[in-house]
Amino acid sequence: MPVTLRREVVADIIRVALSGDDHRDIVIDLLDGAFVSYVIEFFEKIVYAKVRKRTITRDWYRDHFLDQRLDKSQFAWNGGLNMKTIKNKHKSERRQIVIDEALGHYDKFLKLVDSLSDDRLNIDLSITFRDVTVHLDMNESLVVINALAVRRAAFRGGFWSTVGKQVEGPLMETLCRVYDVDKKYFTKALAEDNSLREVDYHLLSPDGSKAKCEVKLMGVGNPESADAIHARDTDVFVASTLSETNRIQLDEAGVFWTELQVSKGFLRFQDTLANLGIPYAELDNGSDHANRIERAIRQVLLL
């Protein structure tokens, strides 16, 4: 499900990141809110499906939630799989492949549930919506729980991807504006292979040379840091956190790096600007950083 962050949320994430704090709490709160809304809607559909079907068979879930007219991502989630798993296995996300994999996984899961039958364990899930209550037996309950677990994982991946696509570019521009870098010295650019993935920014030196930039709001030790650098010939790297190994790799590759989630970590960015010969307004530890950051955020996001 596509997610668009409000500008105020993007501003909050940038503000927290440049303050040296962990922005993940903001994303997790958004994730929790979206997932709860999804669960409520999902349970409403279950009540509707159970009520409509006068004769309830053990496979009512397949009839109502594995309808091949559904969006293929939704079909996969309802079958207990996510799209990434299917793509990794088949190197494809063609609709028929998704349908076959989801149906096959669902059938295997039902067999597993049957094999776990235990008189000592009884799960009975009751759902009430607008004074209508339906009951799910153990098999039905486990199928629903599994589908929600998969959907939660998909939500998590989707939200972090959203942060990357919608926050990292404005964050880079905000950094430039904090140092009063003239617009002619930075620009957004598409990847050379014309893929939808955007290289976050180019910094342009007065002599006309370009420095390719990457921004990663990632966790310590995330292996994508090294991959992104080598795959895209990165010259400038900005990250929320870096491991010691990351820093060594970046130094060895001759990449100018800035780690944000340390005390006043964004100040290192001015070393990058200096090394590239880009004019900027120098900051020191005594400067009014908070006001400069706030001003830059408002300029970039038009708040």
SS (H, E, C) the chain: CCCCCCHHHHHHHHHHHHCCCCCHHHHHHHHHHHHHHHHHHHHHHHHHHHHHCCCCCCCHHHHHHCCCCCCHHHHHHHCCCCHHHHHHHHCCCCHHHHHHHHHHHHHHHHHHHHHCCCCCCCCCEEEEECCEEEEECHHHHHHHHHHHHHHHHHHHHHHHHHHHHHHHHHHHHHHHHHCCCCHHHEEEEECCCCCCCEEEEEEECCCCCEEEEEEECCCCCCCHHHHHHHHHCCCEEEECCCCHHHHHHHHHCCCEEEECCCCCHHHHHHHHHHHCCCCCCCCCCCCCHHHHHHHHHHHHHCC
pLDDT at 155 exceeding the cut of 50: yes
Looking at the chain, the domain(s) classified CATH 3.40.1350 span 181-280
Indicate whether 220 pLDDT > 50. no
Length of the chain: 303
**What is the CATH class of 181-280?**
alpha beta
**Residue 264, pLDDT above cutoff 90:** no
According to the model, what pLDDT value does residue 193 have? 47
Say what the pLDDT of residue 258 is. 95
pLDDT at residue 95 in the model:
93
Compute the distance between CA of residue 139 and CA of residue 114 in angstroms, rounded to an integer.
7
- What's the whole-number mean pLDDT along residues 21-37? 87
Which stretch of 32-41, 51-60, 72-81 has the lowest confidence by average pLDDT? 51-60
For residue 136, name the pLDDT band (cuts at 50, 70, 90).
Answer: confident
Instruction: Please name which of 226, 236, 227 lies closest in space to residue 200, comparing C-alpha atoms.
Output: 236
Tell me what percent of the residues of the chain surpass a pLDDT of 90: 28
The whole-number average pLDDT for the span 259-285 is: 92
Q: What phi and psi values does residue 82 have, to the nearest 5 degrees?
A: -110, 160
Percent above pLDDT 70 for the chain: 85
- Rounded CA gap, 118 and 123, in Å? 11
Position 177 pLDDT exceeds 80: yes
The pLDDT value recorded for residue 254 is 92
Residue pointed to by tokens 């430039």: 176
